Chain A
Amino acid sequence: MNTGQIISGAGHLGLIVWAIFGGAFESEPLPFEAMEVTTISSEEFAALTAPESAPEAVANVDTPEPPQAGEAPGLTSEADAAPDLAQPDPAESTPPDEVPEITEPAPPDAEVSDEPPVMQPPQEDTAVLLPEPVEPAPEARPEPAPRVAPEPVARPEPDVRIDEVDQQEARPDEEAEPVETDREETAREEATTEIVTEADRLEEAAPSVSVRPRARPAARPETEPEPETQTAETPQVDDSAVDDAVAAALGQAGAETQPESTPQGPPLTSGEKDALRLAVSNCWVVDTGAPSARVTVTLGFSLGRDGRVLGDIRLISAEGGDTTAQNVAFEAARRAIIRCGANGYRLPPEKYDQWRDIEMTFNPERMRIR
């Protein structure tokens, strides 16, 4: 019994020892390939790649050059600067600008007739390619240039987001006094007593009537009201007579010869009339559902030089409706004239004679519900 256990224990022990030291748990490393890597800066990388791009550029720029046979030597001197890639000197970038300008006349079509002897070289296009590869070198520069920032920038702090503009982080200042921003007083929109017809609500989403645009201060006078009183001296037909007649109708000279009862001065322009019309319209309250909306009234009144109503406003005529409706229409029109003229209508003072007496017709035809 003991003997068996000893033999078993010794056997197991031996097996364990062999496993540990015999390499049963070791695995062979997988084969892999290593590669030598060195780090280089972007400038170095640019330096490495620049020479490659330069020749490419030569080929591209070749074609514009041949016509400039005379200036070629001048350009060669600048070619020396080519290797200075690290210098983003603006002065260097200017020469390329000049070149394109010069190339403008280059198009052969335009110059064929001007310089016949030069036109022979066009056949040499390919031939010139070889002798001049060195000269266009400066024009290789525009490509590498953008790779360098125009302005040196300090290395940003670790957490800063890269942006085009430097900006300080905004932090609330706990010690600072709270600033009250200026606030305009606001209120909810005034409720109206009117409700749009439910049945029409959808259709009325878009405005159906536009406000009459405010009249322009037109300088163009109308040749309207002035009866011509001048007498003709000779019956000749003259082209300039038209101009003269218009000028006379508009001018002071013509007005002087008119009878006293007629208005003097140039007539109101349509813009000035529209302004007056608009001013009164804004105060004319129309009840489209009432019988008075079928009445057209004409009111007469006079204005002082300050644009205010003088004396009474009188009813000149009324059409449509019964007398009650006509009376209501007259009162509504009168209120409009008085209210909107409370501070005086703005009319050109020099034309006072034209607007001293006014007859105003209020026609609700277009507003009436149909």
Chain B
Amino acid sequence: MTSFNPDLLAALALVPALVHLPAGLARAQDSGPLRIEITEGVIEPLPYAVPDFVADSAAASEYATNIARVIASDLGGTGLFREIPREAHISRITSFSSPVQFSDWKAINAQALITGGVSVDGSGQVVVRFRLYDVFAGQELGQGLQLVGTTEGWRRIAHKVADQVYSRLTGEDPYFDSRVVYVAETGPKDARQKRLAIMDYDGANVSYLTDSSALVLAPRFSPTGDRVLYTSYETGFPRIYVLDVASAGRRVLETQEGTMSFAPRFAPDGRTVLYSLTSGGNTDLFSMDIASGRSTRLTTAPSIETAPSFSPDGSRIVFESDRSGTPQLYIMPTQGGEAQRISFGQGRYGTPVWSPRGDLVAFTKQSKGRFHIGVMRTDGSEERLLTASFLDEGPTWSPNGRVIMFTRETQGEQGTSSLYTVDITGRNLRQVTTPTGASDPSWSPLQN
């Protein structure tokens, strides 16, 4: 009873070490803190509160409410956050500078709290200050910020605040203060009028860039968001134009006469344009230096090569080709050369767009009578289809590479086109409200 075998005891002491081999032998002797590994969490919107900002004058009170509403709309639109309605708030924010009663916000399970103050100075400038709190940690997240803008630009100020909140809470780059250029559509399907329109990312502040006298297609923002490339049938043939967003002035990019050029897209440097050119029944990829107008042929295959898109570093191009018999996605060096096929699933792939993050390619896929918007890694792996409908096409990335906007067209003669967004996780599919039918969106970079 009282006798022990030292060898046996040593062996017993080793048992825990053997059971927990990954942690190493040392742990067996180290009886430190309790170690727990969590591998399952929950995927749900993070609850937060954004009470009306505090207005320091009657003139500012309107903005105080509206700015808080736009922030809530931005954050709620991501699907990652859920606003706790004002009716549920226990305490009121009456002063921007007074301390926050965290217990009141914990009680309603607000994990984040946004407070702000608005003032309008004599020159018509809106000054917005805000703070973001981690309620359960009882501390401020980041520094308070002050933003100044014109009264007309109050929505942009709200987007900027929401961008800061989004960025601090998710660790991702923001995207709310951005715009979208698209083709506005009116009239029936067989006599549809199309013109270029531009709006805020959330569908507000729509304005038109062209009239509806000629058919326009596929507008694409420049990397700095100051210009737009698009295809117009003004002369009867499809030709590529470059348009200055601020002045709405435009000029044609001269390509070979008697040819059709389309599907243009800027290179990340903003000086080169990739496009497709059809000559003698064969469609190939070309690049053009905008300043000099000099074109370079990139592909020579007898098949159709189109829809080129640059990688963010400008070193590679992803495009669509039917050289294998069906349209598939390929990647090749910017200077041309051997292309590597990346799509191998069943169906037809088209309109590839390289993510701003560089890790994914978004595409349209037609399979079994349905259209999908999907993403895959740049080596073709991990393909995921995010949507499915009668007709989905033309994906464009949000500036941070988190959200994809695309065109969805409904079936039938009365079918209409509209814009939708979807998170790259496949959640949070939402329609973007536009005053008319809309198609072919192109998302701008984040505005300065």
CB within 8 Å for A199 and B386 given contacts A288-B425, A328-B171, A334-B137: yes
A224-B16, A225-B16, A355-B34 are known contacts. Are A284 and B9 too (CB-CB below 8 A)?
A: no
Query: How many A-B pairs with Cβ below 8 Å?
Result: 214
Is A218 in contact with chain B by the CB < 8 A criterion? no
**CB neighbours of A290 from chain B (8 A):** 170-172, 402
Q: Mark A330-370, 1 if CB is under 8 A from B, else 0.
A: 01011110110010000000000011111111111111011
Give Cα distance in the complex from A290 to B424, angstroms: 10
11 CB-based A-B contacts, threshold 8 Å: A200-B385, A223-B12, A233-B2, A237-B5, A238-B5, A277-B36, A288-B425, A290-B402, A331-B134, A357-B34, A364-B41
Contact indicator A338/B41 (Cβ below 8 Å): no
Q: Is the CB of A245 within 8 A of B8?
A: yes
A sample of 11 more A-B contacts (CB under 8 A), given A286-B41, A289-B424, A367-B40, is A199-B372, A233-B4, A285-B46, A287-B170, A288-B43, A290-B402, A292-B170, A339-B109, A358-B35, A362-B38, A363-B39
- For the complex, is B13 an interface residue (Cβ under 8 Å from A)? yes
The interface bits of chain B over 1-42 (1 if a CB of A lies within 8 angstroms of the residue's CB, else 0) are: 111111011001101100110000000110111111111111
Please report the C-alpha to C-alpha distance between residue A277 and residue B36 in the assembled complex, in whole angstroms. 7
B114 to chain A, nearest CB (A): 16
Beta-carbon contact of A281 and B171 below 8 Å: no
Bin the interface of chain B by size: 35 or more
B43 touches A281 (CB 8 A): no
A300 within 8 A of B: yes
CB of A271 within 8 Å of the partner chain: no
Contact partner of B42 (CB less than 8 A), chosen from A245, A284, A324, is A284
Find out whether the CB atom of A223 lies under 8 angstroms from the CB atom of B16.
yes
CA distance A339 to B108 in the complex (A): 12
The reply to whether B5 and A232 contact each other, CB–CB distance below 8 Å, is yes
B49 to chain A, nearest CB (A): 15
On whether the beta carbons of A228 and B12 are closer than 8 Å, the reply is yes
Q: Given that A228-B12, A262-B31 are contacting pairs, would A338 and B38 also be in contact in the complex, using a CB cutoff of 8 Å?
A: no
Q: Give B430's nearest chain A residue, CB to CB.
A: A195
Q: A263–B41 Cα gap in the complex (Å)?
A: 29
Contact of A292 with B389 at beta-carbon distance under 8 Å, contacts A230-B9, A232-B6, A359-B35 already known:
no
B15 nearest CB neighbor, chain A only: A223
| Stretch from B75-83, B257-265, B333-341 forming part of the interface with A | B75-83
Q: Which residue of B lies closest to A303 (CB)?
A: B34
Nearest neighbor of B365 in chain A, beta-carbon distance: A199
**Are B12 and A285 in contact (CB-based, < 8 A)?**
no
Are B12 and A249 neighbours in the complex by a CB distance under 8 Å? yes
A280 within 8 Å of B (CB atoms): yes
Residues of B within 8 A of A355 (CB): 34
Which residues of the partner chain A approach B43 to less than 8 Å between Cβ atoms?
194, 285-288, 367
Q: Please encode chain B, from 135 to 175, with 1 for each CB lying within 8 Å of some chain A CB and 0 for all others.
A: 01100010000000000000000000000000001111000
